[in-house]
Amino acid sequence: MEYAALVDVYRRLEATASNNEKTRILADLFAERAEPRSSDADDGSADISTGSDADLLSVLVTLVRGKLFAAWEPDELGVSSSLTLRAVSKATGVSEGEIEERWEATGDLGDAAAWAVENSQQRTLFSEPLGVRRVHRTLRELAEYEGAGSQDRRIDAVASLVSDADPEAARYVVRTALGHMRVGIGEGTVRDAIALAFLDGATDGDTLGTEEVTEPRSVGQSDATASDEAVAAVERAHQVTNDFPLVARTARDEGREGLAALGIELFRPVKSMLAEKAEGIEDGLDSVAPDLSSVLLEHKYDGARIQIHVDGDEVRVFTRRLEDVTAQFPDVVAAVREHVTADSCVLDGEAVGYDPDTERPVVFQEFSRRIKREYDIAELAEEIPAVVYLFDCLAVDGESLLDAPLRDRLARLDDLLDPEPLALERATHRSLADCESRDDALAAAESLYADALDAGHEGLMLKNLDAVSQPGRRVGAMMKVKPTMEPLDLVVPRAQYSEGRRSEWLGRLFLGAYDPDADAFVVVGRLATGYTDEELQEITDRLEPLVTDRDGRILDVDPELVLEVEYEEIQQSPEYESGYALRFPRFVRIRDDLAPEDADTVERVGELFDQQ
């Protein structure tokens, strides 16, 4: 398939704000690639037909969002703006200075690349047609370049694509290399498109009306939307595998049954199940389970959520963002090797740092240094050792436990754990099964809550022992109680330099809540206080490389930095597109453990507004 055909799809996606329309455009694109191992070679690369790379559907599913690797894959493209600038200049003969000027004017290096190709003085002698497989393969290979000369090889590879591209193709090749697609495709849109392309056509199609459809279907001109059931099937498969190409291929080749059979696999992390917030202990007790005897209470720790995969001596540790942090936690790996008796398993828990002198937990901000650390790891692990509090077991010895009730999962956890205090132990817990009355239960919960706070932990979790695991979902079968009004995790899409003493620093930050449908961030307020000078310096250092556009002292930045913010209340306000404004927001901390898409949503802000 020629890359130009995909460029056409990008343009149509960019031209519409309607999510249903975007879904249909993608569903059409996917459905056309219905044949497994399609033989439509576009660029002579179809002979490399081993593995999923040969499957055009996988390639397209990957390219539409411009994410060349899954979050848990260790690879990164290693492509910076300056490298891209040099590549575009090399391919077109247009000077870096001119391209940079154009980039500043439009705020997008992709646009600048399109302009440079348009104005190129160079004609390539041996131009090869640009196919989607070639773009996919060339960009993925960038991650493999290592050592001396690797930067030059990356520049050459990107330049080779740009020199065979027309202006439009250059725009999207560059955006893909940089990881900024700007076509507004969130995970939800890809999910819905897969459901619409491959699942709904084969069923009675509850929301598809009377339209007779055969699989695959062309949906471009119709007003079809995917059925809830089909969407749920795709969603579940994705939450468990975090691999859209795999999910798409399975939906196409094996339908719903195949999707349902996709399970947890070692060293491929599943999304974390998340908690709902209770308005207090009583609210939590009343809503978490139909019956108090099925309620389990646990300490809520303030550390980093980790998922531990074990296969014999091989141990890997993933964060909630699905990133592999095994190298950062040698102490956790050692503790797992020593205190986990199963041959293979997947465990869920919270890693907390503690002060070796007092044995009390350190604040998360302090502990988070360990997650980012790339040098002197052993020293830092001694300074801030980690203890892991385990609270779930998702698989053991090849058996998935996702569909088992929590009480069984915990029994399996107890079986495989030889606990060691301040290394690896179960989260402090108490079942309410022995309570004779609601008052007893309440007293027990209040006492465990007080214990947790006394010990320096964050609060209390309440869980339904009869509930199955729901990866990636925020569920009422797991509730949290914390003492304060819930802070929000928001993303900075725009920033302004402060005035006066702090005028070198980006101290006025626009705060964006996530809109998952549009994969965009909608402003809900402006932050100007709560940080120390050091924090402000760090925020500035983190934001300046993300700049995409500049208007005087106001910068548009890639929405990557997630901040936790407190505030007095939420007001309705016409000032921002979201319709809400936070009153007196205050900075709490940077949330490196969250991906931008994990930020609080506009919908959540609306709920909090309704609750106050």
**Residues forming the active site:** 300
Q: How far is the CB of 515 from ligand ATP (least distance, A)?
A: 17
Alpha helices, H only, 49-108 = 56-65, 81-92, 96-106
Going by the DSSP 8-state scheme, the letter that residue 544 receives in this structure is G
Nearer residue to ligand ATP within complex by CB, 252 or 299: 299
Q: Which amino acid, one-letter code, is at 308?
A: I
The helix-helix angle for 438-454 and 281-288 (nearest 10°) equals 120
Binding site for ligand ATP (CB under 6 A): 272, 274-275, 298-301, 305, 350, 391, 427, 461, 480
Closest alpha carbon to 195 in 172, 224, 160, 174: 224
- Known binding-site residues for ATP equal 298, 305, 320, 350, 391, 474, 480
Q: How far is the CB of 427 from ligand ATP (least distance, A)?
A: 4
DSSP 445-505: HHHHHHHHHHTT--EEEEEETTPPP-TT-EEEEEEEE-SSPPPEEEEEEEEEE--GGGTTS
Closest alpha carbon to 24 in 190, 146, 167: 190
Q: How far apart are CA 47 and CA 35, in angstroms?
A: 16
Nearer residue to ligand ATP within complex by CB, 182 or 480: 480
196, 224 in Cβ contact below 8 A?
yes
CB neighbours (10 Å) of residue 347? 25
Nearer residue to ligand ATP within complex by CB, 79 or 351: 351
Place of tokens 């005028």: 503
End-to-end CA separation in angstroms for the chain: 54
Closest alpha carbon to 130 in 6, 287, 280, 314: 6
Closest alpha carbon to 64 in 128, 16, 126, 11: 11
Contacts of 356 by beta carbon, 8 Å cutoff, 6+ apart:
382, 383, 385
Backbone angles phi, psi at 555, to 5 degrees: -120, 135
Closest alpha carbon to 307 in 331, 336, 276: 336
Diameter of the chain measured on Cα atoms: 85
Nearer residue to ligand ATP within complex by CB, 301 or 505: 301
CB neighbours (10 Å) of residue 374? 7
Nearer residue to ligand ATP within complex by CB, 152 or 366: 366
593, 561 in Cβ contact below 8 A?
no
Contacts of 78 by beta carbon, 8 Å cutoff, 6+ apart:
142, 143, 145, 150, 154
Looking at the DSSP bridge assignments, the partners of residue 350 are 305, 389
Based on C-alpha coordinates, what's the Rg of the chain? 25
Count of residues in the chain: 612
Nearer residue to ligand ATP within complex by CB, 8 or 323: 323
Q: How far is the CB of 350 from ligand ATP (least distance, A)?
A: 4
Q: How far is the CB of 565 from ligand ATP (least distance, A)?
A: 12
Q: How far is the CB of 393 from ligand ATP (least distance, A)?
A: 13
Q: How far is the CB of 474 from ligand ATP (least distance, A)?
A: 6
Q: How far is the CB of 541 from ligand ATP (least distance, A)?
A: 24
Nearer residue to ligand ATP within complex by CB, 272 or 328: 272
Q: Is 212 exposed, middle or buried (0-12, 13-18, 19+ CB in 10 A)?
A: exposed
Q: How far apart are CA 1 and CA 40, in angstroms?
A: 7
Q: How far is the CB of 407 from ligand ATP (least distance, A)?
A: 15
Contacts of 323 by beta carbon, 8 Å cutoff, 6+ apart:
71, 72
Nearer residue to ligand ATP within complex by CB, 120 or 307: 307
SS3 333: helix
Q: How far is the CB of 299 from ligand ATP (least distance, A)?
A: 6
Nearer residue to ligand ATP within complex by CB, 487 or 493: 487
- Known binding-site residues equal 298, 305, 320, 350, 391, 474, 480
Q: How far apart are CA 23 and CA 226, in angstroms?
A: 9
Q: How far is the CB of 563 from ligand ATP (least distance, A)?
A: 12
Q: How far apart are CA 550 and CA 334, in angstroms?
A: 48
